[in-house]
Chains A and B, each alone.
Chain A
């Protein structure tokens, strides 16, 4: 049987992390191809539904990444995102999802290396955890 390949949905802020992913590409840094990037204008526009829907759709892990506190294009995006993440983590915890399946990172536009590292870490972690418990349902429906 082929090795389990996790699927990661990454919500990346347009100004920092998306640019970092771009930089990782242009700098030819290798990282696993398990990630599907969704570009959003700010990490604070990601609401819990986006993440839940990603899991519903069969993601094994979800990443929400944006600017550092000081670099935000919209002043206080990361703070808003953090407060959303706090509530979301609680919900996912009650739902019984492993904490590692959802990650919140801050990656600035110049940190292509860090972006690649985050993805590498996440893939490794998810391979250890195995497929998401919500997958059984999605496959049954398909």
Chain B
């Protein structure tokens, strides 16, 4: 796609230059050189080459804050996503966090010959079944341990907790032994070729597995399967986030929670919240647990602030400022626990908290947990 087509398809030409996007943009708040409005203007005035070779293009968090506020329906995040495809063609990849190993892993996964050993963590504690028509999507969690061990983040804890929750609801899910990355990061950094290969491979595997429903513990994977896969592949099955799955079961009255006395606050992941409009399901789960008091942060639901980095690209000092602001907001609620529904949010907040901060302005510290972990504990999992 060339830039003109992108402008047509994302309705960028509608822009009134009102600047609402820049005023709500979490990046623009700290990085004065970044402005969604200026990016659109650059594109509309014909400075496409400058725009698509600029590293700033990769600073956008695609958090949909601007999209929500735009009075003329400009799909800015999608515009950025498509413009990044051109940028990659120009040799501009943004700055890949963790020296690019995550992006490299994704590209390596496109090889058809590899046989991953991604389920070695699985123990007898969890019941899985190959005949099940519910598939649980493990995602990239098995790869995360070595990368994030220094920030004490174990993504597999979330996976294990989700399995526990499913088991306690008498569901023995199926797991794919050779599932590949959903391609979320590749797609949002403009590497469409890699994304397509992964999507085709995964769709074929899911078809072969013959499942009716896929449950996710990761908001990014969920978004990718729900909104992006249908454009490229024929998936033909229902997808659900673990919070929706739980909320549905709670409504039917089949879930028993024990009491947990805690004041918690909830971080809306941008993929689950603004991208897919799911705000109530996770809150319903939290409110159904006896003893849990849910307090909202200053910015919540549609207004909620992003965790500061997406697709592991352009993680810079501004990202940390965004995180610090968000953590302060969480702390200000008086909650003792911050609940998220996306492993990436947790990664980024934990990373921010490793930094001690300055003496006068220490980084606010708050315990973080995934919704699946809390649900598993409330359902009687001993941890």
Contacts and interface: CB of A to CB of B under 8 A. Distances in A.
Contacts of B116: 94-96
B108 A134 contact: yes
A48 B114 contact: no
A37 interface: no
Size class of the A contact interface (CB-based, 8 Å): 20 to 34
Given A48-B99, A48-B101, A94 B108 contact: no
Contacts of A95: 105, 108-109, 114, 116, 143
Contacts of A29: none
Given A87-B146, A91-B105, A137 B110 contact: yes
Q: How large is the interface on B (under 10, 10 to 19, 20 to 34, 35 or more residues)?
A: 20 to 34
B105 A93 contact: no
Contacts of B107: 56
By secondary structure, the A interface counts as helix
Nearest to A47: B99
- Chain A CB within 10 Å — which of B108, B120, B143 has the most? B108
A86 interface: yes
Given A47-B101, A49-B104, A95-B109, A88 B146 contact: yes
A136 interface: yes
B159 to A, nearest CB: 13
Interface in B84-137: 98-101, 104-105, 107-118, 120
Nearest to B119: A94
A56 B108 contact: yes
- Say whether chain B's binding surface is mostly helix, strand, loop, or mixed: helix
Contact of A93 (B100, B109, B117, B149): B117
A126 B147 CA distance: 27
Given A134-B114, A136-B111, A94 B143 contact: yes
A49 B106 CA distance: 12
Interface in B42-72: none
B378 to A, nearest CB: 31
Contacts of B101: 47-49, 52, 91
A94 B142 contact: yes
Interface string B136-177: 000000110111010000000000000000000000000000
A90 interface: yes
A136 B142 contact: no
Contacts of A133: 111, 113-115
Contacts of B111: 133-137
Interface in A84-130: 86-88, 90-91, 93-97
Interface of A: 47-49, 52-53, 55-56, 86-88, 90-91, 93-97, 133-137
